[in-house]
Amino acid sequence: MDLTFTSEELAFREEVRAFLATSLSADTRRKVLEGLEVSRDDTLRWHQTLHRRGWGGPNWPKEFGGTGWDPVRQYIFEEESAAAGAPRLLPFGLKMVGPVIMRFGNAGQQKRFLPRILSGDDWWAQGYSEPGSGSDLASLKTRAERKGDGYLVNGQKTWITLAQHANWIFCLVRTDPAAKKQTGISFLLIDMKTPGVTVRPITLLDGSQEVNEVWFEDVEVPLENLVGEENSGWTYAKFLLGHERTNIAAVGSSKRELARLKHIASEERKDGRPLIQDPAFAARLAQVEIDLMALEITNLRVLAAEVERRAPGAEASLLKIKGTEIQQELSELMMKAVGPYALPFRREVMRERSSGASIGPAYASPLAAAYLNMRKASIYGGSNEIQKNIIAQTILGL
């Protein structure tokens, strides 16, 4: 595999850089680069800016309104966007349910849903995990009973990211409780405004309410919102999870955070010696950079396979494991780099700042919250332990 960019690809990179320099607001850029909270409006505004440019679907084919970029151009775009401080585009519509609808949905569903994902008119959430059904997703219990021209849905989903902002949710539901657990599942699209849908926030360690419980009580879902065939949802779920795990690798944002870590560790401390000169710290920094370089090459190999229209397979599990381990290591090293200034939670820091208290460098304020939040990375999208089982079975043949 040739890892060097062609002259056309280098020209495309310059085009992306120029666009980012002129179109990304300074305030949003500052939030991302300093690790501060990015609001719903920040994310949506950037999504709509890209849509107006014709870049709303970087990973979508032209036939569905996307850019038609090959995987290398997609990679360049994501890497340059992360480096410039652009908000991460929400994957639930663009990289999860969108590709499922393209592959398995009917023409009516494609016409109805895909343009609104591209424009940002619809904000999607992912309704997979349940209490007791996380990594063992096929054990889910949310029921969808056929009633006339639709389904009556009852059950609970949990850890649903940003569901408080969503107006649609794609869900795995059990439509045949008598069947083998993987074969009795269907894939439904549910309007969050439907009576019977309740969203309850979950407060995380860092004080944020990023995830939620979503309850369904006699929620009526029309039959036209069933994707593909009834009881075939597990096939669509596996297709979607391959894309999700590839996305979780987040090579571009990790490269940005590595550069940020180096900058923080290069600051002169009270003893006059930057932490980056400490041999033990420098060794850990070098190791995470080497790991990230290897992850980047593996990610490019997966992208090259997608040129052949092959969905990511077990190699997506490799990306998920190593990508999340790198993200966690970077957040830990940043905490170490600033020492006690990283201890306060974000909400406490902002309160102290507003009162004029001196609590250290500004870049330290979000690090504790980021560290605590990043503990979830090795769990969501299928825990890393489960990914190792997948690799053992499908790649190593154990």
Q: Which residues are catalytic?
A: 244
Cα-to-chain-centroid distance, residue 98: 14
Task: Give every CB contact of residue 246 below 8 A, 6+ residues apart in sequence.
Answer: 299, 302, 312, 316, 319, 320
Provide the 10 A C-beta neighbour count for residue 383: 17
Q: What are phi and psi of 343, to 5 degrees?
A: -70, -40
What end-to-end distance do the CA atoms of the chain give, in Å?
28
Run of H or E including 186: strand 185-191
3-state secondary structure of 27: helix
Rounded to 10 degrees, the C-alpha dihedral 110/112/116/118 comes to 20
Please give the structure tokens belonging to residue 12: 């495309």
Please count the CA atoms within 13 angstroms of the CA of 49 that sit on its side-chain side: 18
Please return the burial class of 6, using the count of CB atoms within 10 Å of its CB with bins 0-12, 13-18 and 19+. Answer: exposed
Please count the CA atoms within 13 angstroms of the CA of 2 that sit on its side-chain side: 5
Task: Give every CB contact of residue 55 below 8 A, 6+ residues apart in sequence.
Answer: 19, 67, 77
